[in-house]
Amino acid sequence: MPRFALRIEYNGQPFFGWQRQNDHPSVQGAVETALSALESDVPTIAAAGRTDAGVHAYGQVAHVDLQQDWDPFRLAGAINFHLKPTPVAITGLKRVDDGWHARFSALERIYIYRIVNRRAPLVHEAGLAWQIQRPLEIDAMRAGAAFLIGNHDFTTFRSTMCQAKSPVKTLDEITIAHAPTHGGTLITIKVRARSFLHNQVRSIIGTLDRVGSGGWVPEDMQKALIARDRSACGPVAPPDGLYLSKVTYDPEIFD
């Protein structure tokens, strides 16, 4: 059976996460339903990561084994046709080797978190960014984030429901950029690592909010990390601003 890699973009607002569920809409369910319109007995698709309810993606990657050796261009168009009207799109599709795996072949994952810092309610960005009304100090957030770079025990920033065998992960990058937006500031936080714990990124962002708002000094991020205690973490940031931006492979599958 030929194997295909799919790059998937989606707005997570109407979904209860990536993973297929019996009673609630999911991104996986939407893609598999579209595929079932093209072939019968389509097997379960495997993804690079399982995003939570309300989380978005620019570059989720999954793979599927199909019966027909489709032309990739035609297959992408056919899937997109049957995905309508859901807010999901196939933005890239490649034929890959049988041993290639969307999750296990991945080298790293990049998440982006978007914060709109302004007082006026969000209109166009509602559900697509976290609105924080109080002013945030960007340099303080950068200083606090720097303590998390490298290999650490991230128990503090790990969901109690996390099923990973170890809380030890290596964060390769946390960068914080900002730019003026309509009536405020758009803050974009990029987090890069080979893999993440459940809720790790949102826990980090929610805790950095404490630093940016002045409730914590940057060194408090280091104290929270060293504590290895979930109660030392700040509140978990909402899913609205989180995007799975890119999954990288070697050789690279998508541009």
Q: What is the set of active-site residues? A: 52
* C-alpha dist (Å) from residue 46 to 4, 51, 63, 191, 252: 11, 13, 6, 23, 18
Both tokens of 204, joined, read 């980090």
Q: Are 63 and 46 in contact (CB under 8 A)?
A: yes
Kind and range of the H or E run holding 237: none
In the chain the beta strands, taken as DSSP E runs, fall at 3-10, 46-47, 56-65, 88-96, 108-117, 130-132, 150-153, 168-181, 184-193, 242-248
Q: Helix, strand, or coil here: 181?
A: strand
DSSP strand pairing (46-47 vs 168-181): unpaired
